[in-house]
Structure 1
């Protein structure tokens, strides 16, 4: 993927938080425009969000429109201020976005992080491979932490996950058994099928 030089269309994606003010937005916009011009790109559009970078594509209007334009091949290169301005959804999600751009033959460049530059095809493949490795590494770390947390909870006797339907209705059915209610009455009261009530009653009596 090579998108450098003349005739390459670039768009700017800019995300600024609401507390940074208009001045910050205009300063960054001006510098990104100058960067696009200095690199010899044709400026094909600008997308500005004032949403948190932790919000997903569907929750950031400009971000979503930018991807729709990429899918329609309306530009060749995406230029953003920095990776954390592009997305703060976590490394796996962020890299998935970058890989999606790559699959659409759209390059990307970070104004403040020169190494994030896919103009060179070889560099692009190496960069995405390295980023993918870190995404996988992060996923494995999260998985290990999750498993360790579940195991610790089990050792402490805590219930993992949602209670079963039997556990949810056990107390109510037990009380109705003690009150002499019929299985039909139990079914009506709990909203469970008669056959389910029948199984639960047998299970409770066998405990």
Structure 2
């Protein structure tokens, strides 16, 4: 049996990871019990209900996390990802490439990463 003071002392990785740890213990035949939270006790008759309850909390936490991310993105005035290169910069890249310079030499001259140049010169 694993005895812990409180669930937040057992694991601070969040509800989902904590549930995964408890499910691994259960699968290995190890019981668990919280000293201060009497409802967290896998030795009693409601063991399966506790796992189900924690699974529901973990699912709800994932939903709320997703909602917070989407809300934050909606509030942000920034568009996700790197900003696009200006048309005159793209024209300069094409002109340098047409002279036969390698992408690495163009990178050294302009400071624009090779991966970005692939996006615009492909």
What interval of TM-score do these two structures reach, taking the shorter chain for normalisation?
Answer: 0.7 to 0.9
Pick from 17, 20, 36 the counterpart of residue 96 of structure 1.
20
CA distance in 1, matches of 2:7, 2:39: 11
**Contiguous gaps of at least 5 residues in structure 2:** 108-112
Pick from 53, 62, 67 the counterpart of residue 144 of structure 1.
67
If each structure's strand is expressed as a fraction of its own residues, which one has the higher value? Answer: 1
What does residue 200 of structure 1 align with?
120
Equivalent residues of 1:109, 1:117 under 8 A apart: yes
What does residue 30 of structure 2 align with?
106
Per-residue deviation, 1:170: 7.1
**Contiguous gaps of at least 5 residues in structure 1:** 1-76, 203-207
What's the TM-score once normalised by structure 2's chain length?
0.73
CA distance in 1, matches of 2:103, 2:86: 11
Per-residue deviation, 1:192: 3.9
Per-residue deviation, 1:181: 2.8
Equivalent residues of 1:80, 1:109 under 8 A apart: yes
- Name segments (4+ residues, structure 1) moved above 3 Å: 167-177
RMSD: 3.1
What is the total number of aligned residue pairs between the two structures?
114
Secondary structure of 2:39's counterpart equals: coil
Pick from 104, 111, 117 the counterpart of residue 188 of structure 1.
104
